[in-house]
Amino acid sequence: LQIIKSPEMISVPRETMDKLLSGESKLKKRILSEEKIEEFFRREGAVVLVEPGMGADTMDKGTVRVNDRQPITPDDPIPLPHLVMAAEHYNRLMRLMEMGYEVKMDVEIRNEFYNDDLKDYNLIAELPGSDLQDEIVMIGAHLDAKSAATGATDNAAGSAVVMEAMRILKAIGAKPRRTIRAALWGAEECGHLGSLGYVGQHFYDWQKKIKLPEYDKFYVYFNVDWYGRFRGIYLQGNDLARPIFEAWMKPFHDLGMTYLVPGNTGGTDHMSFLKCGLPGFQFIQDDLEFFTKTFHTNMDVYDRLVPEDLMQAATILAAFAYNAATREGKFPPPTPIDNGRRWHK
């Protein structure tokens, strides 16, 4: 296993980020809308914004979801403080105000802006190939996380699965024909900036819209961005990949790996490859408590992980990477896609 000694540094100015995401007008509209909303509240004299949580199923045990609203730098104006209150408490306050009672709140917020290093980093490692070593099979997961907790399920689990898959391949003495490269992406939570930057440095110039020399050497990318057991894979509209994945999945049917979904899924780093016509795929995984408890919340901690599920995922990922690295012929290119949604079993 060869580890590139210097992590790839990703520093993407805001104007470049806008260009990378050109075409994703919904994101720009959302950010603009939030700015207008804040202007409205400031004009109305608001000093703090309070909104309800997600209800009793998640909030009664202290679960708090944290989402950044937009990129921010030390030079930006300080936004209005924004708090999330348990839905039951919020509703009670609303009822009191509707009945004419004056409600007062004491709010104390302590934040610190860490600006010693405003860059994020990609960590890259690889198993060199043999006769086709210039061709690249990639597996990856984002290493960054929201700051509410330690980011165990989103996405330390995916990063651990990628690392374990590489360890398995090295431990069994695998001899891939193509080079297998693993990436732990930085800044995924900021708009897939780590993977977008990497693709832009190696495969496709986003601003000039031209292929780089390494583009034609790229084979396929597999992404892990969840913590449940693997159940299948999204085809991203690429039906030519169906027979390939059917054959690769067959040995793992007894482990529950059986689903092939023709549609698209977005929201994570395989999109950085698909945007420029490179084949990239995301696995289907059990939801477990992802959307009900851990997704960007203070409950995203090690205790929520299921070791057996991570072992199953790492085993399948290692097999997919090896099969891709030894397969004859080119991998079928993707068809044009949109920013599809995740499919849930």
200 confidence band (pLDDT: 50, 70, 90) = very high
pLDDT of 28: 52
pLDDT in tens, 299-331: 888 999 999 999 999 999 999 999 999 999 999
- What is the percent of the chain where pLDDT is above 90? 60
CB-based burial, 199-218: b 16+ in 10 Å, e otherwise = bbebbbebeeeeebeebebb
| Mean pLDDT, all residues of the chain | 85
Q: Are 289 and 306 a contacting pair, CB within 8 Å?
A: no
What is the rounded average pLDDT of the residues 212-239? Answer: 96
Q: Which residue has the higher pLDDT, 199 or 4?
A: 199
- What is the percent of the chain where pLDDT is above 70? 83
What is the rounded average pLDDT of the residues 112-137? Answer: 92
DSSP character string of 62-86? T--B----S---TTSPPPPPEEEE-
Beta bridge partners of 204: 211
69 confidence band (pLDDT: 50, 70, 90) = low
Strands 120-127 and 2-3, bridge-based pairing: antiparallel
Q: How far apart are CA 28 and CA 70, in angstroms?
A: 10
Angle of CA points 329, 332, 333, to nearest 5°: 130
Q: Are 176 and 322 a contacting pair, CB within 8 Å?
A: yes
pLDDT of 7: 43
Given a cut of 60, whether residue 194 has pLDDT beyond it is: yes
pLDDT in tens, 15-48: 554 554 454 445 455 555 677 888 899 999 999 9
2-6+120-326 topology per CATH: Aminopeptidase (3.40.630)
Q: Where are the alpha helices (DSSP H) in the chain?
A: 14-20, 25-43, 56-59, 87-98, 157-171, 193-202, 242-249, 270-274, 307-326
pLDDT of 23: 45
In the chain, which residues fall in CATH 3.40.630.10?
Answer: 2-6+120-326
Q: How far apart are CA 148 and CA 174, in angstroms?
A: 39
pLDDT of 155: 93
Q: What letter would DSSP give residue 335? A: P
